[in-house]
Amino acid sequence: MGIAARKMKISMPAGMAIDAEVDLCLSNDAYFLRARLNVSLPGLEPDIARDLIESGHRTCPTQKQRAAILTCSSTSSKRIRRAGYR
């Protein structure tokens, strides 16, 4: 998100935090992972926080690799949800 923030000319808040929750799920006899990233960006407007989180997902090289095998969603401190994807 730091790269995304610089591109958007936004300063990252000092109290920024990201907590990850990962579930091992079973569907039709196949296992898969589902992750939730709980993002706290204190002081940022909800729309700006959402844009920053989504931009961070798009620019993350490891996220591009994981996208095919990991369902992921994000929330901000104001509970902004990003739709899950695989």
pLDDT digits (tens, 9 = 90+) for 31-46: 888 888 888 889 888 8
Q: What confidence category does residue 64 fall into, taking pLDDT thresholds of 50, 70 and 90?
A: low
**Per-residue pLDDT for 70 more than 60?**
no
| pTM: predicted TM-score of the whole model, two decimal places | 0.62
Q: Which domains does the chain have, with CATH numbers?
A: 2-75 (3.30.300.20)
- Is the model more confident about 20 or about 78? 20
Cα separation values, 66 from 29, 49, 57, 63, 81, Å: 21, 23, 11, 5, 19
Is it the case that residue 62 has pLDDT exceeding 70? no
Residue 86's pLDDT is 40
pLDDT on residue 9:
92
Q: Are 70 and 37 in contact (CB under 8 A)?
A: no
What pLDDT score does 79 carry? 43
Q: Which residues pair with 21 in a beta bridge?
A: 36
